Structure 1
């Protein structure tokens, strides 16, 4: 039985390597190279460790890290949806649910069930852990776009109202980080890299 579990786990590990090939619209800090989903997930996880003291409430940090490491795995099948895409919903889609079932389903049942539950918790955004994880997910691209003179905001004609609406979610996880993020957004308008 242990060998059967190991073989399933190795298949999953090989499958999720594909996350390195999923390119996001956002570029690395101070760079013109697109970030891939694996880099994004790693960066968010490290951010959560470093910034956990700023959360609005007690959290299970290990659970937050698990959420951040697996939250975009579904994009192996479903692809990355640009947060400001007006044609396709960025919320949990049927494609993403099917992807979660297939990819996490490669694991032994107990691990598959845990991963799907953690992924769904992140998507539902109700728990303290999900709110803080979501704050990290929205904060990182803000830092990237600011460092790249507007980055995807400029490239795709994204305006202040769109950015403010999407980034305000940060406040649910951390008032402190939101205050800083709000300053960055307003400074970006003052610098002319984000249009009002």
Structure 2
């Protein structure tokens, strides 16, 4: 991105820091030759790179609900998850673990990099949707070291089962972010009410309806 003093990425040698602001630091990625004590194994590094590339697909997976409503340039799943994480970050609730909320937001739709965004309009049974996403999460997390594998899978499972106050709150953030995005699309198109069915969804909680009132005032 802008400002970085780049070197050849293909050569795996590059500098992270902008020149003149911080002392340039040369970083060389060693995929197999480095000591296991200093870095993960070559196979582990390759698996991590594969994991990151798979997750990177989320930047190119559109949110299906907007596609079905012919929204121009619909947001990606990654866009949606990022703003949810920011919403969790700016939350002030002493009864919630903010860090866990951010982590849940970043993981909750991660399986969609493999299965895509399965919308209600796709008429996929809930059990089948869960099965596909569960298999995708197992495939993804198997690329990670044991501790991270366990952490990410359990975060996803916690959200799916709504087994904590944080998971329930992040579910509400998911709904509220959808409402906020719908409001933005209506504003951009200058067509108030075009996406009213998203607001009226039976999945939207009273708390999220309050968010709707706030963003449409």
Measured against the shorter chain, the TM-score band is: 0.7 to 0.9
Structure 2 CA distance for aligned equivalents of residues 179 and 34 of structure 1: 22
Gaps of 5+ in 2: 1-35
User: Does 2:162 match 1:125?
Assistant: yes
Per residue, is there more helix in 1 or in 2? 1
Aligned to 2:48: 9
Residues 1:115 and 1:95: Cα distance change in structure 2 (over 3 Å): same
RMSD: 3.0
SS of 2:83's equivalent in the other structure is: helix
Question: TM-score, normalized by length of structure 1?
Answer: 0.73
Question: TM-score, normalized by length of structure 2?
Answer: 0.66
Structure 1 segment 172-191 matched on structure 2, within 5 A: 178=208, 180-181=210-211, 183=213
Residue deviations 1:60-119 (CA, integer Å, cap 9, x gap): 11111111111111012221022x427124575111110010011111122111110000
Say how many residue pairs are matched: 169
Residues 1:5 and 1:143: Cα distance change in structure 2 (over 3 Å): same
Structure 2 CA distance for aligned equivalents of residues 6 and 97 of structure 1: 24
Gaps of 5+ in 1: 172-177, 189-196
Structure 2 CA distance for aligned equivalents of residues 158 and 90 of structure 1: 20
Bigger Rg over Cα = 2
Aligned to 1:141: 178
Structure scoring higher RCO (CA < 8 A, sep ≥ 6) equals: 1
Structure 1 segment 1-196 matched on structure 2, within 5 A: 1=36, 2-3=40-41, 4-24=43-63, 25-26=65-66, 32-50=72-90, 52-53=91-92, 55=93, 58-82=95-119, 84-85=120-121, 87-89=123-125, 93-149=130-186, 154=194, 158=197, 162-163=200-201, 165-168=202-205, 171=207, 178=208, 180-181=210-211, 183=213
Q: Do 1:101 and 1:116's aligned partners in 2 also have CA atoms closer than 8 Å?
A: yes
